[in-house]
Amino acid sequence: MFSDDYYYWLTDLLHDDYLQSNYQKLLHQMLETEFTWSVPYDSNRASDGLYLRKSYERETGCAVFEDAPCAVLEMFIAMCVRCEDELMHDPDLGDRTNVWFWAILENLGLDIYDDYSYDCDSVDTILERFLDRDYEKSGFGGAFYVMDSCVDFRKKDLWWQLNAFLEANYPV
């Protein structure tokens, strides 16, 4: 559905050649999976993902499918870019957008599905679990978690979850 040019432009935002070279099947499946939400503020994450399309159009002059809903990959990349730009930017450490993306993959359990050990059905199950918020109260099994949290992550929007995860794992 999406052009190869858009896919490469999108994944270039992660600044991670290893990921682009070894996880193409996973990244493509995430791009083909619609991001759906049940917590109201997560609509903002979808808007951020769709905004990437407008950025691509401005930079390249090429159109992306405007009517297509936001994909999981678009939402996660937009979230990681925003995380780096607004929360975690540190000029001494450089751009860590890929660090936040890898944390999401690891938390979801998707990091084991490189192109050599790829299992489409398992990835689909993990993405469905994430989208359905069928993970533990602490967020374990989702994109972000804090093991000793007394807050039910399943009821919190993703930006809140990200902030709690960063606070617990990357204290200032």
**In the chain, where are the structural domains located?**
4-169
Q: How far is CA 121 from CA 20, 80, 97, 105, in A?
A: 21, 25, 27, 16
Judged against a pLDDT cut of 70, whether residue 171 lies above it is answered with yes
| Length in residues, the chain | 172
Question: Which H helix or E strand runs over 6?
Answer: helix 4-12
Burial 15-39 (b: 16+ CB within 10 A, else e): bbeebbeebebbbebbbebebebeb
Q: What is the pLDDT of residue 70?
A: 95
Find how far residue 12's CA is from the centre of its chain: 14
pLDDT in tens, 22-75: 999 999 999 999 999 999 999 999 999 999 999 999 999 888 766 889 999 999
Are 41 and 20 contacting, i.e. CB atoms less than 8 angstroms apart? no
* pTM, entire model: 0.94
pLDDT, residue 61, reads 87
pLDDT tens digits for 129-168?
999 999 999 999 999 999 888 999 999 999 999 999 999 9
pLDDT of residue 172: 67
